[in-house]
Structure 1
Amino acid sequence: MRNLLAAGTAFTGLFTSSFAHAQDLIEDGERLFSSVDVAGYVLVIGALSAALASAIWLIRQRGRLESEGREMRTALSDAQQRISRYQALIADKNRRIVVWDGHTARPEFLGQLPAETGAPAHNADFLAFGRWLKPEAAGELERAIEALRSDAKTFDLIIETQRGEVLEVQGRLTGGRAFARFVALNNLRAELAELKIERNRLRNSISAFEALLDAIEQPVWQRDAEGKLVWVNHAYSEAVEAQSPEQAIVEGREVLSSLTREKIKASTTPESPFHDTVSTAVRGSRAFFDVVDVRGPAGSAGMAIDVSKEEVLREQLARTLKSHADTLDHLATPVAIFDGEQRLQFYNQAFVQLWGLETPFLESKPGNGELLDRLRAAHKLPEELSWKTWKEKTLSVYRSVETQTDLWHLPNGQTLRVIVSAHPQGGATWVFENLTEQVALETRYNTLLRVQGETIDHLSEGVAVFGPDGRIQLSNPAFRALWAVTEEQTALGTHIRAIEKACSPSYDRPDGWKAFSHMITSFDDERPSRQGTLELYSGLVLDYAVTPLPNAQTMLTFVNMTDSVRAERALKEKNEALRKADELKNDFVQHVSYELRSPLTNIIGFTDLLKTPAIGPLNERQAEYVDHISTSSSVLLTIVNDILDLATVDAGIMQLDYSDIDLNDLLDDVSMQMTDRLQEGKVTLEISATANLGHMIADRQRLKQILIKLLTNAVNFAPEGSVVSMRCWRDQDDFAFSVTDTGCGMSPEMLATVFDRFSTNGKGGKRSGPGLGLSIVQSFVNLHGGSVSIDSAPGEGTTVRCRIPSTIVPQVVAAE
């Protein structure tokens, strides 16, 4: 500025001198130049002066700018040097700084943390605090950083990594930027930080425990070393009738008596806490508390649990147990109670009388297993194949929650029902109920019921029994057959109105089921019996009878008199002849049965006895004679049995014993029984049957007789060395089979009489017989409702085919 002022002064002097010189020129050359020329010269001189002044100013300004540039370069170099020193300082491995410039800018990271802290070196992973910090520390840090960036709230935190290292985090603001400084603490600072963390944990734990204890209903207290109260919960203040725990502490209100407190103070040690039930007054009434008091270095703490109700219940339980013991001791049922260790705690006199054990032994409280061993040694328990297994199973009740019931059949003939109930707290109660008489009565009762049921089911008369409510109690097959109703329509509990509806298609006149319904369901004091005859729409004529039974039950019986009515006249004419024939037949059957079969049985028995070595040795001829006697007697007995079977069929008293038959087992049985006969005839039996013929309902004994008769007949006519084949198959539910031999065959004339009794067309056979085999086969097949046929031709052998249906419901079958 000083130079510029000097330049301006010089310029002014120059302009003044020039102007003066111009005036002199003007004055001197007024004569030479005009005024216009003078003005032009003046303007040129002024322009030149201005240009000169501008150039001088520009030169001076350029120098000033160059000087300022040199100064700025010097300052920039100094700043860069300071930044390098700061970065070197920040780059320490014990700290890391995260800087945020605004809310959207990406953070800037400076420095690193030690690797042992578990902090990631990568910037993006570093901000994922949940991956390397403990969950509670990560959550707290994220909330503090969010408050720093959004609300400018600074923070100082001590956090813990997942590796257990402690870090100090400081959040600050500077120059519009937010930064968080992570510092790894060492030595004393780390220990101080850990202590702070532990202090916070202890404070939180103490707060949680105080809140928990303050919420329970039992009084809880804490005392200092001198025995003064320092903390109580709300239950304590309520127990001492204080308005708040603070008031109870200030006023020193005690829930326990002074004597109890002195006892606690004298007997409690850090190794042995006080624990006892004490009595005290609470809210003006006496109460019992279960008190626990624990002593520590700085004082003691205790809790009182109100057990007044438990004490009352304990007394009531003691009285109840005594009453129950007195009651059980007078019971006739043996009872024994064992505790959780399976030792005897109680038994009554009936238990002693049942097992006959000594009182000293029982008073010694033996174990349950020991008691069972004692009873087994005295032969008073059931004889088991595996005593150890039975004993373990019996004692398993102690590990069960369900009541177990078992039947013991004792060697002395008694039957006991053993009921064992496990106690929830351990132990069990054993009750022994003597069922000997009950089992005997039930057996006789069940046998009577079965006999009655079988008798009623096999009656030819229709029987139905109704209860006082009009519902059917039982009915037999004959009843359902006579009235053409199904078993479902007469199921147990069906009302008589429904049965009346089901029977109405057969007979619906007023003197029928409507009258039966009235008699059965009426409330008359006197229930007279009634008999009569009904003629159904189908032509059946039934004699009925209504008979009152005990327990207000009523029985209806129906007898089919159709054939009697229709043939009454013919029966009267032939009655005498049939009576005599029946007497002759009965006499024949009786005499053959008892007068002929009994001696034959004796002959066979004595013959078998002669064959035994105990009687003495027989010579060869005697043995041969005995064999002939035995063979002839067996043949004669077979003939007698065949005659009796035919006589029984003709007499109408043959009944088939239906049962479920395994056909494969039946064929195996027949094959075994025919072995001797096949060897005697030197014939081979070939049975062709499917692998599994299944089962069928038939009379096993009669079906076996059919097969044996056919095979015996075939073996009798088969040539020696030939094969008798039997083929069996199932045709739906029917069992079909055929027996084929390669013997001499039969002519058409012989086939016409082959099923006649005593038809001895045995020409060509190895043995001669009475001719009853095929007749018996036909009778038994017909009784089963099947069919039999014979194909034969002279010289081509014989084939007998049979088909026997499987019966679903067993029925009584007899010849007409």
Structure 2
Amino acid sequence: MSGVIVAMRRTLLSCTSLARNGLISLGGTLASIAPASAGDSSLLDAISAHLHLNRQEFAVLTTALALLGFSVVAAILLMRTRLRAARGEARLRAGIADLQAQADRFRALLFAEPQILIAWPAGDNRPQISGDIALLMPQEAPQRILAFGTWLPPEPALQMDHAVDALREHGEGFLLNLTTSNGRIIEALGRAIGGQAIVRIRDLGGLRRELAESNLRYRTLLEETELLRNFAAAAPWPIWAKSAQGDLRYANAAYAKATEAAGVADAIHRNLELLESDQREEVSRALNDNSAFTARLPIVVGGARRVYDVHALNLGSGSAGIAIDAGEATTLREQLVRMAEAHRRTLDQLSSGVAVFDGQRRLAFYNDSYRRLWDLDRAFLDSNPDDSSVLDRLRAARKLPEQPDFRAWKVKLHEAYRAVEPEKDSWYLPDGRALSVVTTPNPEGGVTYLFDDVTESLDLARRFDGLIRVQRETLDNLTEAVAVFGSNGRAQLFNPAFAKMWKLSADALREQPHIETVEAWCRPLFDDADIWQTIREAITRIENRVEVPLKLERRDGSVLDCMTMPLPDGATMLTFQDITDTENVERALRERNEALEAADQMKVDFVHHVSYELRSPLTTIIGFAHFLSDPVTGPLMPKQAEYLGYITASTNALLAIINNILDLATIDAGAMSLNIGSIDIRKTIEAAAEGIQDRLATDRIQLKVDVDPNIGSFVGDERRVVQVLYNLLANAVGFSPQDGTIGLSAKRTEHSVIFAVTDSGPGIPPDVKDKVFDWFESHSHGSRHRGAGLGLSLVKSFVELHGGKVDVNSIVGKGTTVTCNFPIDQAAHRNAAE
């Protein structure tokens, strides 16, 4: 910039020099021609002639010279202006540097202590925030400081928000001492300065903090003092305060009125006294001894003696007192005493026990019925015992209802002291009495108990209600038709069965129709005039009332058994019982019994026939088969030996079937008896397993036995138990696949021995499971052996004969488990069954 100014300055100097030289030359020329042209008429013509120019050329030259002079003058002025601007810019730069230094000093001084400045320029809603933001929140969120609720409690935050709005909108300044959410005490100052709204927030510490707290306490105390002074001034009771020397320092309007002063100032100036001299001395003595005085004193006010409750306190630097008019309270108390005495005399005449407890839960009144009800000592009651003491004494004498938690019961009872409405309860005492207890809260505090002995009334009501309910429920649930007719011949009671049996309307019967009307309704079903005459006479007869049994055969084919029963109150009860089914059933049972007897005889005959016709020849065949297989009879050809083996196996199987049938028939006929004895459980399992070894080997099936070596023994028929286990194992082998596994386990419990046989066969479908124990039911699906279907039937029969039970648990596709539960002691089982 300075180089440009220097170049411009040099250019202007050159132009100025040239212009000055040109003007001098022009001036000399004009001077030389001036005398010659002095006599001419025109100076311009002379100059034009001297310069050898015409008038037009001379005018152009003159204009050019004028323009040149103006340019020179303008250039000179421009140069001087720019020089002054350069000097002004230098001064401004120096001033700005000085202001920046001063601003830095002021900023350092301003933020020498932790504080935050928030400034809102005029017309701009974006505030400028500077200072130690960490004073209130993290540095990375300075704009969050305007959300006052993030660092101030709700009420101070709202106060701050309203103050800032008033500052920005109306320029109203503020000064607030606030406590942040983390307990820091701060000062918030708001001012409108230079068109900006500025808020300064700084931490108060040291003396400033103490001063702020003192100001807060001062304002609080000032408000409280003003409130108390206003209350004392407006109170209708005389209130005063005296110095330590006894001079009156404060009095309210009621005090001035009571002392007949012209005003409060007059009463203080004249030191007027409300109390008499002896009363003041009594107050002084009490204040010197106890620092407090309370008494009911007579005071003359307005020429009349009235009673006041006087309260005075010793305040150290003086005393204060108040006098409350107690005249009305005294009158009311006297009236209350008279009323209470009248009530006492009235309550003493009541049969109900009455006890009144005051607000301190002490017995204030009782009547003689209360004392006799609980049989309490009069001296104890006259000592005004509290409620808990009375209850404790009654409990010790076992005169209160038995409670699992007496303390909780007593607390619930004493809730009456805080209740608003009366409560009613019933107490059932250990001696059989029933009491109705009413607890009524008293308006002045305390509770009134009312006790009534309702034992007899409750018993009568209970009996009556019970009889009515029993009668109604009995009648409604009887299958017999019942109707009760009064001595006037009208229907009083009936049950639904009566209306249904005779096809009558229940609504019509509720109208209590006469027996003749009921007879007319029933004649379509039964029209025997003699029997209806007998029924009418049984209902309306006055003497010789006896039971009359009748049998009615109605037109619909039903048979009814009727009975007229005279009742003690003169009524008559009619009962109708439909015996049609009974007679039919009796006839059917008689026929069935005859059929069953015939079937039993046929079964016995069949058993005997099988025993004689089949078993004997089969035994002979088995004997000859064994004889032929004996080497003594001679050698057999291989084919003969093979055929003989088939014969032996078939005859053995047939013999087993016959024996099973005989056993089942014997059990079913009740002729089977057990050979009871001690059974070694392990030996029994080994014997049953030995019987199926050949079938296990043939089908390559493995038997796994799970028995505790110390399982011991139990009482039962060993042969039948072996037979049960053999049939279960044979059944399991038949349903298990080749190369499979079956299991036999036994465990002992306290009262039983449990055998379980498990196979891995196809399982039993649910629809077949309930039939596996039936005779000749053979579930052959998945079995390689077709049996007669008697094995599981025998198992169930023998186990139940021992007093046990059999359970089958089967899952289709996974196998079956049959569990047999035998009781350990057969003798105990038989005794229990008997």
With the length of structure 2 as denominator, give the TM-score of the two structures. 0.47
